[in-house]
Structure 1
């Protein structure tokens, strides 16, 4: 084949390939628009939990984990009340006989995944700014005073508080947990010998509650008018 014919053929092929690529790129948005949109998830679709979160949900609603056998996490953090108290009491009643009043109002557990884990105070540089509204308030941590840096540490507090679920110590919680209807499931998730190591068992139990609060969308629905 003559040289000029070979050169012409190569140029033509290159230009045609480039033109085809441009046409494909131009038509891509129209093809995407014509494609059927994915069907939205039904409004009543159930959340898919990790194994730990599924256990945490069972524990969250289990009143048998309290000394009275009548108080669960949900007793004070009611799902139908934005995970806050279900009544108008300034502080909820608990303890072994359900007659001891807590020392503080119950905070909502909504949007715990957005809270700064570590307690901090970003202080203004000058004294005049510190005394004005420009000075930042302390932030971070869980609980009203931010004493807990990790959510699973906060989860243990009501279980051991004498005015709340009133367990004497973590061992008392584990004794109840070991006889719970879901104890076998707890072993499946965290190991058949999990209860032989009390420290690890209690840590994993609190981790399960933490995962439930982080994974269940009802804790962070983002359905207010400001979320759209």
Structure 2
């Protein structure tokens, strides 16, 4: 009997300790969630559209076709998806993208996923929204190299199925096949490219969505000050910041002046848009120049250049683990290749 009593007491003690441990963990998780909600918001289902370009099914379908169509380039080889490959999380995973005639630009291609949540487009913020951004690469001689909007429109108007699709997408327009509407349709499609992740589940109250290591990484991410710039619904993308506050960025090209090229303000030299960290484990290489391929190195550099701190290897491990929780689900429909309409005998031919 005495033995049974002792066993009973030990079992009760262990059960009590386990219950206490669970309660402590629950309280700790709740505190972490409350703190995280001060800095972050979960992704909505869709990126809000501007009043002059409401998102419609017809516009999204047309925009998807245009996004994947290489005929928007002079050579007929390069599409939006070439540099912003949706199968690889909206990037091309190289330092700087290959464009027309094998030219390369000076910046790493940022992901198109969730991009519409951001304050502006491009690393220097020269485009105010997705519509303005969509117009840039098509006419850029280093990228898709179309010589004029008129040639873009001429190609599209020569393809009957595109003419019909533009009429469906822009029924109020007398002449719907315009360069402005090309940009509006692509932007409408891009506003559907939202990638919810386990971190969003956590922010909505499911504290089991993150592993213990990821939670520790999130705690460090907030405590170390990363959230000063990487916050909000997109975990970044909502401000501009000088790269090299406490220490120069080791790979900085002195001729790349960042936002200064747009504003001509001395204070904007080496200032860039803070990138979103969503899907960051998939969108290597990192930074505006694509010089860093290892996320661990990128985190280390950020600690030194932006926060003035040296992170330990263990801290870097935990922060990288948290960043992986930001890897989201790409919409299935976006990954299904559209069947593009055939050219006609009158379609302007590809050029070198």
Normalised to the residue count of structure 2, the TM-score between the two structures is 0.39
* 1:65 and 2:72 aligned: yes
Query: What whole-Å deviation, never above 9, does each CA across 1:49-92 have from its counterpart, x for those lacking one?
Result: 5211111001000001110100000011111111111x4x3111
Question: What is the root-mean-square deviation of aligned Cα atoms in Å?
Answer: 2.0
1:1-228 matched pairs, under 5 angstroms: 50-85=57-92, 87=93, 89-95=94-100, 97=101, 99-116=102-119, 141-180=120-159, 181-191=161-171, 193-194=174-175, 201-214=178-191, 216=192, 219-223=193-197, 225-228=198-201
Between structure 1 and structure 2, the one with the greater Rg is: 1
183-192 vs 57-66, greater mean Cα deviation: 183-192
Deviations 1:152-189 (A, max 9, x none): 00001110000111001111111122124422221333
Deviations 1:4-39 (A, max 9, x none): xxxxxxxxxxxxxxxxxxxxxxxxxxxxxxxxxxxx
State the distance in 1 between where 2:199 and 2:155 align.
43
Structure 1, unpaired ranges of 5+? 1-47, 117-140
Alpha-carbon distance in 1 for matches of 2:180, 2:149: 10
Q: How many residues align?
A: 145
| Aligned equivalent of 2:27 | none
Shift of 1:150: 1.8
Contact 2:56–2:169 (CA<8 Å) still a contact in 1?
no
In structure 2, distance between residues paired with 1:56 and 1:188: 12
Label 1:114 to 1:189 Cα distance change in 2 as closer, same or farther (>3 A): closer
Partners of 2:194 and 2:64 lie apart in 1 by 15
Q: CA deviation at 1:111?
A: 1.1
Structure 2: gaps spanning 5 or more residues:
1-54, 202-352
Work out the CA distance in 1 between the residues paired with 2:108 and 2:144. 15
